[in-house]
Structure 1
Amino acid sequence: MKTLFALILMGAAAPALAQHAGGHTGLTETEQTNAEPEDNDEATPGAAAAPKNTGDNATDHLNMDHSAMGDAPMDRDTIPAMDHDEMDRDVMDHSQMGDSAMEGMGQMDHSQMGQGDMSMPIPDAPPPPAAGSGPARAADAVWGAEAMRGARDKLRSEQGGQTFFWIQGERAEYRIREGKNGYLWDIQGFYGGDIDKFWFKSEGEGSFGEEIEAAEVQALWSRAIGPWFDFQAGVRQDFAPRDRTYAAVGVQGLAPYLFELDVAAFLSDRGDLTARLEGEIDQRITQRLILQPRAEINLAAQDIPELAIGAGIDTAELGLRLRYEIAREFAPYIGVEQEWKLDKSADYARAGGEDPSVTNFVVGLRFWF
């Protein structure tokens, strides 16, 4: 009985022993029978001898010398045996899947897989009371108060505490008109930060070969009163036609639709009250070609005979300039401007032998740095 049992065990183990000795080829018995015989005795030219199979399924593939393997086909006997019985049974055998199953996978709507409702409500409630309840200088406990004081000073300096110097020649032009040609300058600039600045302005005009008709300089403290406007207050000094000092107060900034406005009132040391309104807008034709309409009105609260100024609207100017920006900071222009003296000021002009209405064709330069 024992002999019969031993023969049965040997018969059952024979295929496994043969497979272990010859190497597992991954083919069924029928496929091995029908496969073409291989001639292992002929060495492939240029191919190095591959290591023999030890029959050990634990052979480390990483330790194989791949540099010794040529371009020739690999011999089955040189491939370490792979124990397919140890492979993960969960791997899907796609060869057993029918065409209908594969088509079903192709038609799967991946957009519905685990997406759910991606929209998240935006909270509109105020932050919870605990938000911001920590110490105001929490980093001092980590880095030290002295180190953090220097870091905060640098942050203020680099993020809003900088000071700038800017100057612009808004109008520096040659004026061609009936009679004697003239000139005009209109320069302004500032030094300071985002909130407080020292602002300076200078305007003047005249005719060639004659005394300067008007010249003034303003020194102003400027304080931002919003994102678009500055409040300005300071002193204005006139040098022509009379030396006169004024207290100046006004607002300058950018109005809706990009109108640049400058409105100021002046009270002289003689008690004369005057005002000035200036407005202009840049209409961009191309990136470099800009058309600029400009208007200015001067008013007076009373007659000032020594300055040839009448009460009410003293003068009005309306101009149109076309400039070409060779660079943003450098733009020559041409244009035309009409000036009027009105009401009592027109009477003063006629009495002095002047025309109260003058047309100027201008050629000038606008610059800033």
Structure 2
Amino acid sequence: MAIIGLGATPAWAQTSPAAETMDHAQHQGAPSPDAVKPKAARDAMPAMDPSGMDHGAMPGMKPEKVETAGEMAAMDHGEMKMQGGSAPPDARDPHAYSGGYTLESGPYALPGPRVLRLSDEHNFGALLVDRLERVHTRDGNVTAYDMQAWFGRNYNRLVVKAEGDVSQGKLQEARTELLWGHAIATFWDTQLGMRYDSGVGPDRSWLAFGVQGLAPYWFEVDAAAYVGDNGRTALRLGAEYELLLTQRLILQPRLEINAYGKSDEALGIGSGLSDGAAGLRLRYEFTRQFAPYVGVERAGKFGKTADLARIAGEKTDETRWVAGVRFWF
């Protein structure tokens, strides 16, 4: 029975008296047997080469193949299946309706005319008054407006633009456009329609074509080309940027330039680069829909337009101080 009990003892529990003595000695701070050997004897011992050890001969250990760097470089990475590639044969068409059901057919279709509609099937409208301001110059005060309204869907809509100046209760100059807008890319619309100029001088009509949208780095761009009667042509470019100083305090740089292909002396316009304005407006948004602002703007006339202004005794450049409100609904 004693023999059987000894055989049942785990291997890790079978400790020889010599091992117990050595372990006790190490706990007492005694040096190991190798440490007490003379240095010459220790130096004479053959160095152990781990790479030469036969791990396969050790009981309980299975030999494993160690891959070298050359073998790892020879791996065929083409067999590794990465994300992407062709869809499996049983993949569902991502462009098809779920399970083949539609809004007009199938067990879940409602009787009568179709009630459910996607967002781009609804008509929406909005009015943005970007600038409604009082302009102060050395020659007097002027009320200016710049607004845009649209009605329609996401891809096609009717757009109305209006910009002008009023002084002493009289319309000095105005530009009104009636356009059809069509979405061509994310944040970008093409616009085609008519432009009508009115004010103190003779009226002018134009065919208008342009693009409007949000350029990279969040620049709002409005560019248009115009063709009028008697071979008149014109180009207009407007750009804005909104710099958020805080969530409510916003600084808006703005630039606008105009060019004409033919002189129109009745309106004081010369061919080439005609006029432009650059300004800064600082607004505070009580809500996103309502924000008063103050600012400064520098306006000037160039080229032949400046020459016509000098002949008429008018200034070719001026500084404007503005105060107004921006709102939309």
TM-score (normalizing by structure 1): 0.62
- Partner residue in 2 for 1:161: 121
Deviation at 1:174, TM superposition (A): 0.2
**2:284 & 2:156 partners in 1: Cα distance?**
32
* CA gap 1:139/1:328 in 2 versus in 1, 3 angstroms: same
**1:134 & 1:283 partners in 2: Cα distance?**
40
Deviation at 1:129, TM superposition (A): 3.9
Q: Residue 148 of structure 1 is aligned with which of 109, 112, 115?
A: 109
**2:82 & 2:310 partners in 1: Cα distance?**
70
- Partner residue in 1 for 2:225: 265
Tell whether 2:274 aligns with 1:321.
no
The answer (yes or no) to whether the contact 2:245–2:251 under 8 Å persists in 1 is yes
* CA gap 1:341/1:146 in 2 versus in 1, 3 angstroms: farther
Deviation at 1:147, TM superposition (A): 5.9
3-state SS, counterpart of residue 335 of structure 1: strand
* CA gap 1:163/1:269 in 2 versus in 1, 3 angstroms: same
Higher mean displacement: 357-366 or 200-209: 200-209
Tell whether 2:168 aligns with 1:208.
yes
Amino acid of the structure 2 residue aligned with 1:186: D
Deviation at 1:163, TM superposition (A): 1.8
Tell whether 2:300 aligns with 1:340.
yes
* CA gap 1:151/1:180 in 2 versus in 1, 3 angstroms: same
* CA gap 1:187/1:135 in 2 versus in 1, 3 angstroms: closer
**1:286 & 1:136 partners in 2: Cα distance?**
45
- Partner residue in 2 for 1:350: 310
Amino acid of the structure 2 residue aligned with 1:263: A
- Summarize the alignment of residues 113-124 of structure 1 with structure 2, pairs less than 5 Å apart: 123-124=83-84
* CA gap 1:122/1:331 in 2 versus in 1, 3 angstroms: farther
Alignment size in residue pairs: 247
* CA gap 1:272/1:123 in 2 versus in 1, 3 angstroms: same
**1:205 & 1:144 partners in 2: Cα distance?**
56
**1:305 & 1:150 partners in 2: Cα distance?**
66
Deviations 1:153-182 (A, max 9, x none): 545x23432221111000100011101111
The answer (yes or no) to whether the contact 2:241–2:252 under 8 Å persists in 1 is yes
Amino acid of the structure 1 residue aligned with 2:306: A
Tell whether 2:189 aligns with 1:230.
yes
**1:198 & 1:204 partners in 2: Cα distance?**
20
3-state SS, counterpart of residue 308 of structure 2: helix
Deviation at 1:268, TM superposition (A): 1.2
Q: Residue 171 of structure 1 is aligned with which of 127, 131, 140?
A: 131
Amino acid of the structure 2 residue aligned with 1:308: G
Deviation at 1:306, TM superposition (A): 1.4
* CA gap 1:186/1:154 in 2 versus in 1, 3 angstroms: same
Amino acid of the structure 2 residue aligned with 1:226: A
- Partner residue in 2 for 1:4: none
Q: Which has the larger radius of gyration?
A: 1
The answer (yes or no) to whether the contact 1:292–1:322 under 8 Å persists in 2 is yes
Tell whether 2:87 aligns with 1:127.
yes
3-state SS, counterpart of residue 225 of structure 1: strand
**2:284 & 2:195 partners in 1: Cα distance?**
32
The answer (yes or no) to whether the contact 1:164–1:192 under 8 Å persists in 2 is yes
CA RMSD across the alignment: 2.7
**2:182 & 2:270 partners in 1: Cα distance?**
33
**1:247 & 1:146 partners in 2: Cα distance?**
51
- Partner residue in 2 for 1:331: 291
- Partner residue in 2 for 1:52: none
Amino acid of the structure 2 residue aligned with 1:217: T
Q: Is there any run of 5+ residues in structure 1 with no aligned partner, and where? A: 1-120
**2:233 & 2:184 partners in 1: Cα distance?**
25
3-state SS, counterpart of residue 348 of structure 1: helix
* CA gap 1:348/1:332 in 2 versus in 1, 3 angstroms: same
Q: Residue 154 of structure 2 is aligned with which of 182, 185, 194?
A: 194
**2:231 & 2:132 partners in 1: Cα distance?**
32
3-state SS, counterpart of residue 109 of structure 2: helix
Identity of aligned residues (%): 38
* CA gap 1:151/1:128 in 2 versus in 1, 3 angstroms: farther
**1:150 & 1:127 partners in 2: Cα distance?**
37
- Partner residue in 2 for 1:18: none
The answer (yes or no) to whether the contact 1:283–1:292 under 8 Å persists in 2 is yes
3-state SS, counterpart of residue 305 of structure 2: helix
The answer (yes or no) to whether the contact 2:120–2:155 under 8 Å persists in 1 is no
Deviation at 1:146, TM superposition (A): 8.9
Q: Residue 244 of structure 1 is aligned with which of 180, 184, 204?
A: 204
Deviations 1:65-118 (A, max 9, x none): xxxxxxxxxxxxxxxxxxxxxxxxxxxxxxxxxxxxxxxxxxxxxxxxxxxxxx
The answer (yes or no) to whether the contact 2:148–2:161 under 8 Å persists in 1 is yes
- Summarize the alignment of residues 240-319 of structure 1 with structure 2, pairs less than 5 Å apart: 240=199, 241-319=201-279
Deviation at 1:214, TM superposition (A): 1.0
